[in-house]
Structure 1
Amino acid sequence: MPDTNKSIGLLYEMAVFVSVVETGSFSAAAKDLGVSPSSVSRSVSRLEEQLACRLLERTTRKLRLNEAGQAVYQRCRDMRGAAEAVLDVSERINPKPQGELRISIPKAIGHLLVHPFMPEFLRQYPDIDVQMLLEDRYIDLIDDRVDLVIRITNHPPQDMVGRKLIDIEHVICASPQYLEQFAPLTHPRQLREHSCIFLGEQPKDRQWTFHQGTQNITVEISGRYAANHTQVRLDAAIQGIGIASLPYFSVHQAIRRGELIQVLPDWRFVTSYTGGAWLLYPPNRYLPAKLKVFIDYLTKSLSRLPQIPPALKKTDHENRASSSK
């Protein structure tokens, strides 16, 4: 009589084996499953060890099923088909979005961009609970048991499904009161004469880089105040402590209200925190309803946010300063 516990313990390995056969390689299967190639290799090896037979003939260029592998593959494919049928039944019986969502988001984006939309989401979907993990460190979806992650990058990982939510651009700005004490800034090198408010987590945070046409200029700045929190730097700039580096999504309202003025608007300020904010999740043919509705809701909500223009027009303050030269 078959050992039921043993067969249940091999269900994951069987599914991985089917993916390897159908994609043609460990790396392709890993991409499809959202895991590492080494993890896929270990799963197939465990299956072969438990069955006490070799299933795949490995060459330097491709994988080939042997006779035993053909027989095992057919049965494993039937097993996966049964699992997919169960999921289909589940969707038909209970299509209502429900359950817990664990989402990893960088602190500033979570606080200033995502959180404002969460009350309405929770009202629309009363059966979904959300746990937001506000962390700037790298999060592994599998190891950290999260459903979705938002990362700032220009190169989203190929083994994940991604939706670009918004472009993250940074600007430097200061209060009108601070700027009135100095001559107008027309070139990034003049920042050396100012007190700058910066991130302060690593030495390169003191190096501000600017692009204009074919020019790339990096300036070593200094200042009396550093803070690794966007809201703190924003408040410090409004209070007139100095010139701050800030993501545009955090500062556009203060600029519109006249509390802050963008400095050097004709130069593009670039940091390692510049790029697209991507919503990432493992590839999955059967995406749970709770994930579907959240992804659609957040994508639609953030699409309405203002994007930084190529260069903000000079403010009245700067025009007055230029005309007085």
Structure 2
Amino acid sequence: MPALPALDLNLIQLFVTIVDAGTLSEAAVRHGVTRSHVSRNLQKLERAFGAQLIRRSTRRLELTQQGTVLYEHGSRMAREVESARHALQKLGSEPAGHVRLSIPTGLGELDQLRPLLVRFALRHPSLTLRVLFSNRVSDLISSEIDVALRVVTSPPQDYVARALGDVKWVLCAAPSYLEQLGPPAHPRDLARLHFLGPPDPRPLVTLRLRRKDQLYEAKLAPRLQSEYFPFLAQAALEGAGVALLPAYVVQRDIAAGRLAPVLPAYQALGPGDKLFILTTPNPYPSTAQRAVVDFLRTELTVLLREFLH
């Protein structure tokens, strides 16, 4: 038994159009080609199947038995293709799919962010969201993360990075702590105070501060270190020392007077100075992932406007 020819879906779709149109000329009009083009492709299809598909007369077209079988199957194929097109259009208009989102713990503590994420999820019922609050995710692929927010100076080159803005860092302490030990007047005075800051493996960390165009450095022995910034903020509130933290973590406490800026004439420099949205390279991201990225770029920028330069 001879092998069946490889099917050319374009030829089969043209064949269905010929039958539906009733004439080669009308099929040509519907496809935007010449009548001779339609005739040549019909002959090509018949040669491929080794059978006559249509008996042609000057007045009408008549299907052969083989042509009838091909038309029935070809019609179903055309309907399936159209159904797939509509389904893809629907997917393109309504975000659907699963997204794994990683957010730094400090950002996750913002009272306004969590309700925003919940409302976003409710607004898109075809989208499922898994939110991880962590600072430890460094490899998105091995950690199975689709979208990540990260505070870094330079984003990894193997990721797609979208900058949301510069992150301001502040030195702050409880007013009672500063009253007890005296507020520092110069970066070198920080050595007599307890320092609370992000993790650093060295016994002495270098705190950098800028005033106008001049850079100052202070070598400090940390009393407390943590990647969980709300913990450091709580330690500062209870008088454990001077904390280096992102402004978005302590801005409310500073505004309420629970924490006081330390060396306000200087700009403290943290381990990362920009907030980025990171994703892995993907020329065809899902509608769900695109929706999450767009949400973060708009809503989060507005939310953090007072904390970002």
Map 1:189-208 to 2 at 5 A.
189-203=188-202, 206-208=205-207
Partner deviation per Cα, 1:288-325 (whole Å, 9 max, x = no partner): 22112211212111112244588xxxxxxxxxxxxxxx
Query: Partners of 1:184 and 1:221 in 2: how far apart?
Result: 16
Contact 2:165 2:308 in 1 (8 A): no
Residue in 2 that maps onto 1:33: none
Report the Cα offset of residue 101 of structure 1: 0.8
Partner deviation per Cα, 1:146-191 (whole Å, 9 max, x = no partner): 2112232333344433322232221110111111223342211111
Distance 1:87 1:194, change over 3 A: farther
Greater Cα radius of gyration, structure 1 or 2: 2
Query: Partners of 1:133 and 1:115 in 2: how far apart?
Result: 12
Report the Cα offset of residue 252 of structure 1: 0.7
Partner deviation per Cα, 1:129-148 (whole Å, 9 max, x = no partner): 21123333353333333211
Amino acid at match of 2:140: L
Q: Does 1:119 align with 2:115?
A: no
SS in 1 for 2:235: helix
Map 1:37-116 to 2 at 5 A.
90-94=87-91, 95-112=93-110, 114-116=113-115
Distance 1:88 1:190, change over 3 A: farther
Report the Cα offset of residue 223 of structure 1: 5.2
Partner deviation per Cα, 1:22-56 (whole Å, 9 max, x = no partner): xxxxxxxxxxxxxxxxxxxxxxxxxxxxxxxxxxx
Residue in 1 that maps onto 2:298: 300
Query: Partners of 2:286 and 2:171 in 1: how far apart?
Result: 41
SS in 1 for 2:165: strand
Structure 1 window deviating more from structure 2 (125-134 vs 152-161): it is: 152-161
Report the Cα offset of residue 251 of structure 1: 0.7
Contact 1:249 1:306 in 2 (8 A): no
Amino acid at match of 2:273: G
Distance 1:197 1:153, change over 3 A: closer
Q: Does 1:245 align with 2:210?
A: no
Query: Partners of 1:154 and 1:226 in 2: how far apart?
Result: 20
Report the Cα offset of residue 262 of structure 1: 0.9
Report the Cα offset of residue 87 of structure 1: 8.6
Residue in 1 that maps onto 2:60: none
Report the Cα offset of residue 119 of structure 1: 1.6
What RMSD in Å do the two structures reach over aligned CA positions?
A: 2.9
Residue in 2 that maps onto 1:212: 211
Distance 1:134 1:308, change over 3 A: closer
Query: Partners of 2:215 and 2:237 in 1: how far apart?
Result: 28
Q: Does 1:290 align with 2:288?
A: yes
Report the Cα offset of residue 116 of structure 1: 4.7
Query: Partners of 1:279 and 1:223 in 2: how far apart?
Result: 30
Contact 2:135 2:227 in 1 (8 A): no
Query: Partners of 2:254 and 2:159 in 1: how far apart?
Result: 36
Aligned length: 227
Map 1:11-22 to 2 at 5 A.
none
Amino acid at match of 1:263: V
Q: Does 1:269 align with 2:265?
A: no
Distance 1:146 1:222, change over 3 A: closer
Amino acid at match of 1:255: I
SS in 2 for 1:297: helix
- Dislocated runs of 4+, deviation >6 Å: 85-88
Distance 1:300 1:179, change over 3 A: same
Contact 1:209 1:270 in 2 (8 A): yes
Contact 2:205 2:220 in 1 (8 A): yes
Amino acid at match of 2:248: F
Amino acid at match of 2:121: L
Query: Partners of 2:84 and 2:158 in 1: how far apart?
Result: 23
Query: Partners of 2:84 and 2:248 in 1: how far apart?
Result: 40
Distance 1:156 1:299, change over 3 A: same
Report the Cα offset of residue 86 of structure 1: 10
Amino acid at match of 2:174: S
Distance 1:190 1:125, change over 3 A: same
Query: Partners of 1:145 and 1:202 in 2: how far apart?
Result: 27
TM-score after normalising by structure 2: 0.64
